[in-house]
Structure 1
């Protein structure tokens, strides 16, 4: 992708390993909650400039389902668990029988999606905290459906956008012979971005 910051091999490997650790812990938590096997993997982790993020989701006008959280502590920012509507409905349907089959998503379905996003966020942030020794705590999640650009604009309200990058954790959820793709976006505030990158051992972005 043009403009995507190319991580050095070692940094990319570290971030992917952290993502897989978080995904493994999240899969264990979901499996225990739902009493059924769930597996997750992280095929790719990358840093993407703010103005190119919507392209990951199929373009700025693509309809997406999103779980949104604030991140507080030593690193502040916002975090999104984002899926296409088709993937979100498939995930809800595969985990909670009878949900996600109609045209829309029921209140129970939204609650289920919020819980999945909350568990994933907590475990991804825990893996980052263990490695960086920085405190990052998630807020109570909010769930929404809207166009990708409208959803992502929440992260940049009243903030400088120049030079801002998102840490993107691409996630594959495996359950009942199905796979649902999802994306985690961590947007540190401008001041927190350098703190996080230094703690991860990643040099300045040029």
Structure 2
């Protein structure tokens, strides 16, 4: 039987959920330091999805989104995607910049740099949590940012990184400041050869 995320039971999903919780806690702390103000983050859901389900989670292939793509290297390899609806990304930029939340955002160099920094913090926080639980050395690359339709964004890792596994770890990430909430979608997409390494390290595979 091939080792992949599809074979996980509830206990193993709980371990992955813990990665989401620890990672979001670390990320919230790092963002608060960066912004010098409190940022709340929650992880409403952690799921294992089929790769082809990703665009459905995002609301369909035609939805305009902002996507951050990072390569993962070290003891496992694969890619990370952090994807926000374009409108939500604008609200997040305004939160980061301390601007009125309904202000129209132009995705200029400053806005893109702020979003990349959030992507860096999130990826670093989640991978650090994963590293701690697995004792694996896992490193993120510098993020690349793209603004496009969801279908186009998620095709990038599939094309760029060759054959990916069928399953991805999905961590829904909710930022809030006051009553304003921004939902982002974080996906860890291991390369096929990395599934076994990752699951063995989590104490899941034999």
State the TM-score, normalizing by the size of structure 1: 0.89
Structure 1 equivalent of residue 37 of structure 2: 36
Say whether 1:61 aligns with 2:54: no
Q: What is the CA distance between 1:173 and its match in structure 2?
A: 0.8
Structure 2 equivalent of residue 155 of structure 1: 157
Given that 1:23 and 1:40 are in contact with CA atoms closer than 8 Å, whether structure 2 keeps it comes out as: yes
| Secondary structure class of the residue paired with 1:43 | coil
Distance 1:201 1:44, change over 3 A: farther
Give distance in 2, aligned partners of 1:77 and 1:53.
16
Distance 1:160 1:68, change over 3 A: closer
Structure 2 equivalent of residue 165 of structure 1: 167
Give distance in 2, aligned partners of 1:203 and 1:43.
26
Given that 1:91 and 1:180 are in contact with CA atoms closer than 8 Å, whether structure 2 keeps it comes out as: yes
Give distance in 2, aligned partners of 1:201 and 1:65.
35
Give distance in 2, aligned partners of 1:5 and 1:43.
21
Given that 1:64 and 1:145 are in contact with CA atoms closer than 8 Å, whether structure 2 keeps it comes out as: yes
Give per-residue Cα distances to partners, 1:81-113, cap 9 Å, x unaligned.
Answer: 111011111111122134883263222111111
Give distance in 1, aligned partners of 2:147 and 2:100.
16
Unaligned runs of 5+ in 2: none
1:67-82 alignment runs, 5 A limit: 67-82=68-83
Unaligned runs of 5+ in 1: none
Number of aligned residue pairs: give it. Answer: 200
Q: What's the Cα RMSD here?
A: 2.0
Give distance in 1, aligned partners of 2:78 and 2:45.
21
Give distance in 2, aligned partners of 1:104 and 1:97.
15
Give distance in 1, aligned partners of 2:100 and 2:148.
20
Distance 1:191 1:58, change over 3 A: same
Structure 1 equivalent of residue 144 of structure 2: 142
Give per-residue Cα distances to partners, 1:47-95, cap 9 Å, x unaligned.
Answer: 1111111111011111110111111101111101111011111111122
